[in-house]
């Protein structure tokens, strides 16, 4: 039942997407508004049908309908209900269905938004934008309808299935992490469609970036959270004590993030100064292309260390679509570049524009380094016929300096005014942060921070954070002087009056926390590994670890072996930790679950490596990673920053007036918000 329902819903959605795209493009001509209205309705209907398809699949999963191919592939009666529900995204076909669901949700929301704001629709070449997004829908629905069809019939119907991938079942966080990441990843199709709409129309209004700000920031925030969540998952599940390995799968999500972040910054330049228009569009297009490329290389078996699907048609499908988008968008960009030429120019090297230009340069270089490292094995095989992999040191050697330069820019950029700054003004602003950074540098050196890279990261982070504080406090003091009240209240008022700007600063603070966390955990990590007899203790990095016992447990979907370890510190018991190894029915390979004792200063991380069959001893690996939690905290701060930046202020229909004064006025946003409310 759910099989035919799902199949039917997908086909219907596919037809609607095709028709809707045609209608939308037709509706772009003047006087063809009804076509556009019909296309918007089609977009809403597509979402409903894809929702039905996804619902049918969930129903089949929950009711263990093994006649459905996807259920036979990932379902099992022994899997706990929660994991059965989330196994929608435990394998390829299901995750493409989830992908299509999110995409169609974005499409429906965009259609609604375009309908409700005819003015913005006009600004953003609405019909062409919607049409472009519907074309992306067509592609993904085509994938589901044909090469990645999850609704195929299995005959004879198997009595039971293998259950989802053990790694998926090993941590409930898998219920959150993929949808987060997908919402970001898929959402990049929306800014891409805006860019396509603008390119097809051949015009780009100056207010364009502002009109679509929300459509960029939301996916970007989800992508950021998804990446941090992925790192957390990797840390909590994979048991090697790290969170990032420059694996192709990780890089696939990171590369679009880099270009999208560059875009977020360059768009401000094109908005305020009318510069870098073509470049900004190129970044959006590149971001979307990188999401496609990432999916392609990780799903089609092109690169190693990923599960291969070389016999399915998905690879060729993706390649064709990727090629079409690449050629089409490059062609459009080339054809329209002349018309979109910016009218602004760089007035002075000492200006915020310069900071943004450098920012873009570094982000692009960063993305290129990652792209090259990710694709190099393929290049090497194509050119020289050898199988190689690119070691993590390459990524670190190349990217750490770039990242540090970006942290430095993050510290200086906000202090620079648009157009033309003066050294005295800059020196005045940077005085306190620089002093603070200097003190921090001396203290850290005295405290024994020997690694130059870590030292530099900390110092730069203190510097940048100091400047952020100045940026909050200085205007607040001005306000306080004028209207009294406490400083905290003044800070809150100032921040609330320019949410876009201060939201951005909060995001920056989150990035700094992450930078510090990465530097500390990568530099000062300590680890040891011992085979302990029962009752035996081992001193490690200020802790004493005592193996109490080793035992086995049976659960419906898995069996596990657990080591009980008592942790002492200065003679007192501070914790009991239970690292374990799990054996899932589906795989006879053991999947570990490390035990983590998180803390703001450092994490203690225990892995059960091996054990004697009679339980008399166990091999435990212990890792102490300082300040890892700062990374997760930084991710949360980034998310909060975006929420703050997007809160209220959304009714600002009037564009930012091109800048007249050297310094952005703090009252500008308030004035505009007031104007819109009226």
Partner 1 sequence: MTWKRALIPLAAMPVIALLGFGLTRDARLVPSPLPGKSAPAFALSTLAGDSLRLSDLRGQVVLLNFWASWCLACIGEHPLLVAADRRWRDQGLRMVGVVYQDTRGNAAQWVRERGGDWPNVLDEGSRTAIEYGLFGVPETFFIDRRGRIVYKQIGPVSEQVLDTWIPRLLADSGPAVVSPAELQVGRSPGYLRTSPDFPATQGTTPRKP
Partner 2 sequence: MKKRTAGVLAGGAVVLLVFAYLLWGGIGENLVYFLTPTELLAKGTAAQGANLRLGGMVEPGSVHWDAERRELRFRLRDDGHAIDVVSTGAPPQMFAEGIGAVVEGVYTPDGVFHSHNLMVKHSNEYRPPKAGEHPAEYYRQLFKRQQS
Closest contact distance (angstroms) between CB of 479 and partner 1 is 44
Q: Is residue 586 part of the contact set for partner 2 (CB under 8 A)?
A: yes
Q: How far is the CB of 543 from partner 2 (least distance, A)?
A: 20
Q: Write the CB contacts of 481 (distance below 8 Å, at least 6 apart in sequence).
A: none
Judged by CB under 8 A, does residue 85 bind partner 1? no
Interface with partner 1 by CB under 8 A: which range of 19-27, 505-513, 559-567, 579-587?
Answer: 579-587
First-to-last CA distance in the chain?
Answer: 54
Task: Count other C-beta atoms under 10 Å from residue 445's C-beta.
Answer: 12
Residues 6+ apart with CB under 8 A from 581: 560, 561, 590, 591, 592, 593, 608, 611
Q: What is the spatial distance between Cα 551 and Cα 560, in angstroms, rounded to a whole number?
A: 8
Residue 79 CB, nearest approach to partner 1 (Å):
14
Q: From residue 242 to residue 271, what is the string marking binding to partner 2 with x (rule CB under 8 A)?
A: ------------------------------
* 519 lies in the site for partner 1, by CB under 8 A: no
Measured from the CB atom, is 193 or 329 closer to partner 1? 329
Contact present, 256 and 192 (Cβ < 8 Å): no
Contacts to partner 1 from residues 292-321, by CB under 8 A: 293-312, 315-316, 319
The contacts of residue 377 (CB under 8 Å, 6+ apart) are 303, 304, 387, 388, 389, 390
Contacting partner 2 (CB under 8 A), which of 73, 129, 132, 165?
A: 165
Residue 615 near which of partner 1, partner 2, none (CB within 5-8 Å, type-dependent): partner 2
Residues 255-294 that bind partner 1 (CB under 8 A): 293-294
Q: How far is the CB of 418 from partner 2 (least distance, A)?
A: 21
**Rounded distance, CA 270 to CA 277, Å?**
6
Bridge pairing between strands 543-554 and 558-569: antiparallel
Sign for the pseudo-dihedral over CA of 371, 375, 376, 379? negative
Assess 73 for contact with partner 1 (CB under 8 A).
yes
Interacting positions 324-343 with partner 1 (CB under 8 A)? 326-327, 330-331, 333-335, 337
Whose Cβ is closer to partner 1: residue 231's or residue 357's?
Answer: 231
Q: How far apart are CA 650 and CA 655, in angstroms?
A: 12
* The entry of partner 1, partner 2, none that residue 372 binds, CB within 5 to 8 Å by partner kind: partner 2
- Which of 593, 592, 604, 598 minimizes the C-alpha distance to 566? 604
Stretch of residues binding partner 2 (CB under 8 A), selected from 19-27, 91-99, 567-575, 582-590: 582-590
Which of partner 1, partner 2, none binds 102 (CB below 5-8 Å, type-dependent)? none
Of partner 2, partner 1, none, which one does residue 176 interact with (CB within 5 to 8 Å by kind)? none
Residue from 34, 323, 600, 674 binding partner 1 (CB under 8 A): 323
Candidates 322-330, 359-367, 468-476, 507-515: pick the segment binding partner 1 (CB under 8 A): 322-330
Pairing of strands 572-577, 558-569: antiparallel
Q: Which two tokens stand for residue 126?
A: 């609405």
CA–CA dist 396, 389 (Å, integer): 15
Map the footprint of partner 2 across residues 172-211, applying CB under 8 A: none
Q: Which residues between 171 and 190 bind partner 1 (CB under 8 A)?
A: 177-178, 181-182
Q: Cβ 154 to partner 2, closest distance in Å?
A: 17
- Dist CA 428 CA 33 (whole Å): 56
The minimum distance between CB 195 and partner 1, in angstroms, equals 16
Q: Which is nearer to partner 1, 314 or 467 (CB)?
A: 314
Judged by CB under 8 A, the chain residues 126 through 165 that form the site for partner 1 are 156, 158, 162, 165
Of partner 2, partner 1, none, which one does residue 388 interact with (CB within 5 to 8 Å by kind)?
partner 2
Tell me how far apart the alpha carbons of residues 3 and 12 are, in angstroms, rounded to a whole number: 14
3-class secondary structure, 114: helix
What are the beta bridge partners of residue 56?
Answer: none
Per CB under 8 A, contacts with partner 2 among 366-405 are: 369, 372-373, 376, 380, 386-394, 397-398
Q: Between the CA of residue 131 and those of 97, 104, 106, 275, 532, what are the distances in Å?
A: 21, 13, 13, 27, 64
Stretch that binds partner 1, among 381-389, 412-420, 446-454, 465-473 (CB under 8 A): 381-389
Q: Give the number of other CB atoms < 10 A from CB of residue 85.
A: 13
Number of residues that bind partner 1 (CB under 8 A): 86
Tokens of 616: 């008399």
Give least dist CB 96 to partner 1, A. Answer: 10
Nearer to partner 2, 73 or 291 (CB): 73
Q: Which residues in the 13-52 window bind partner 1 by CB under 8 A? A: none
Enumerate residues 6+ apart whose C-beta is below 8 A from 221.
184, 638, 639, 642, 643
What gap in Å lies between CA 632 and CA 623, rounded to an integer? 18
Q: Which one of partner 2, partner 1, none is in contact with 157 (Cβ closer than 5 to 8 A by kind)?
A: none
**Does the footprint of partner 1 cover residue 322 (CB under 8 A)?**
yes
Pick between residue 5 and residue 306 the one whose CB is nearest to partner 1. 306
Three-state secondary structure call for residue 237: helix
- Quote the tokens at residue 603: 């994490």
Nearer to partner 2, 91 or 325 (CB): 91
Judged by CB under 8 A, the residue of 27, 161, 164, 166 near partner 2 is 166
* Run of H or E including 51: helix 33-62
Considering the complex, what minimum distance in angstroms separates the CB of residue 672 from partner 2? 36
Q: Binds 299, which of partner 2, partner 1, none (CB < 5 to 8 A, cut-off by type)?
A: partner 1
Closer Cβ to partner 1, 66 or 356, answer by number: 66
Cis peptide before 156 (omega within 30 of 0): yes
Q: Which does 572 bind (CB under 5 to 8 A by kind): partner 2, partner 1, none?
A: none
Q: Is 586 in the site for partner 1 (CB under 8 A)?
A: yes
The entry of partner 2, partner 1, none that residue 230 binds, CB within 5 to 8 Å by partner kind? partner 1
Give SS3 for 294. helix
Cα 310 to Cα 152, 297, 315, distances in angstroms: 19, 11, 7
CA distance 349 to 15: 53
Sole residue written with tokens 């510190």: 569
Contacts of 518 (CB under 8 A, 6+ apart): 457, 631
Stretch that binds partner 2, among 18-26, 348-356, 466-474, 614-622 (CB under 8 A): 614-622
């Amino acid at each position: 039942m759910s099989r035919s329902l799902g199949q039917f819903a997908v086909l219907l959605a596919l037809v609607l997407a095709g028709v809707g795209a045609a209608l939308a493009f037709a509706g772009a001509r003047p006087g063809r508004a009804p076509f556009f209205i019909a296309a918007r309705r089609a977009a809403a209907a597509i979402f409903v049908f894809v929702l039905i398809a996804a619902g049918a699949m969930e129903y089949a999963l929950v009711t263990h309908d093994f006649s459905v191919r996807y259920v036979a592939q990932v379902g099992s009666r022994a899997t706990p209900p929660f994991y059965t529900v989330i196994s929608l995204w435990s394998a390829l076909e299901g995750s493409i269905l989830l992908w299509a669901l999110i995409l169609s949700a974005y499409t429906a929301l965009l259609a609604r938004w375009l309908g409700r704001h005819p003015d913005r629709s006009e600004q953003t070449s609405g019909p062409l934008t919607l049409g472009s997004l519907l074309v992306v829908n067509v592609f993904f629905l085509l994938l589901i309808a044909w090469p990645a069809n999850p609704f195929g019939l299995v005959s004879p119907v198997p009595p039971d299935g293998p259950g989802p991938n053990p790694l998926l079942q090993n941590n409930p966080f898998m219920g959150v992490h993929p949808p987060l990441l997908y919402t970001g990843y898929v959402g990049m199709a929306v800014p891409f469609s805006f860019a396509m709409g603008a390119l097809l129309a051949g015009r780009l209004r100056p207010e364009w970036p502002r009109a679509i700000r929300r459509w960029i920031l939301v996916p970007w925030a989800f992508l950021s959270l998804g990446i941090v969540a992925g790192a957390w998952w990797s840390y909590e599940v994979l048991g090697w004590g790290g969170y990032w390995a420059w694996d192709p799968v990780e890089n696939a999500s990171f590369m679009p993030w880099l270009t999208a972040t560059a875009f977020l910054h360059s768009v401000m330049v094109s908005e305020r100064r009318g510069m870098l228009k073509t470049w900004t569009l190129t970044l959006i297009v590149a971001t979307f292309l990188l999401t496609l490329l990432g999916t392609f290389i990780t799903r089609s078996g092109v690169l190693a260390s990923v599960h291969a699907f070389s016999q399915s048609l998905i690879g060729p499908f993706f390649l064709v679509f990727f090629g079409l988008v690449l050629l089409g968008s490059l062609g459009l960009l080339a054809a329209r570049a002349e018309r979109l030429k910016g009218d602004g120019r760089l007035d002075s090297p000492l200006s915020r524009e310069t900071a943004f230009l450098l920012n873009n340069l570094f982000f692009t270089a960063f993305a290129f380094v990652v792209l090259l490292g990710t694709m190099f094995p393929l290049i090497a095989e194509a050119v020289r016929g050898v199988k190689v992999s690119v070691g993590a040191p390459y990524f670190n050697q190349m990217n750490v300096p770039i990242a540090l330069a970006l942290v430095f820019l993050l510290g200086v950029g906000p202090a620079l005014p648009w157009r033309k700054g003066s050294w005295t003004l800059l020196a005045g602003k940077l005085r306190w942060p620089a002093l603070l950074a200097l003190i921090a540098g001396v203290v850290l050196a005295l405290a024994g921070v020997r690694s130059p890279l870590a030292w530099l990261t900390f110092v730069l982070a203190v510097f940048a954070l100091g400047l952020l504080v100045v940026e909050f406090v200085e205007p607040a003091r001005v306000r306080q002087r004028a209207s009294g009240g406490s400083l905290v209240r003044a800070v809150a008022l100032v921040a609330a009056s320019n949410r876009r700007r201060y939201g951005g600063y909060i995001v920056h603070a989150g990035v700094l926390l992450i930078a510090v966390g990465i530097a500390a955990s990568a530099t000062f990590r300590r680890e040891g590994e011992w085979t302990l007899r029962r009752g035996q203790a081992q001193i490690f990095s200020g802790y004493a670890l005592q193996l109490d016992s080793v035992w086995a447990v049976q659960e419906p979907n898995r069996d596990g072996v657990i080591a009980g370890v008592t942790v002492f510190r200065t003679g007192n018991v501070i914790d009991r930790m239970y690292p374990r190894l799990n054996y899932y029915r589906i795989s006879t390979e053991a999947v570990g679950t490390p035990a983590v004792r998180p803390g703001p200063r450092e994490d203690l991380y225990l892995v059960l490596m091996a054990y004697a069959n009679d339980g008399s001893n166990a091999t435990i690996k212990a890792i102490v990673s300082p300040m890892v939690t700062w990374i997760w905290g930084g991710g949360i701060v980034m998310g909060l920053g975006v929420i703050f930046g997007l809160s209220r202020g959304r009714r600002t229909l009037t564009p930012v007036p091109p800048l007249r004064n050297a310094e952005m006025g703090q009252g500008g946003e308030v004035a505009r918000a007031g104007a819109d409310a009226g």
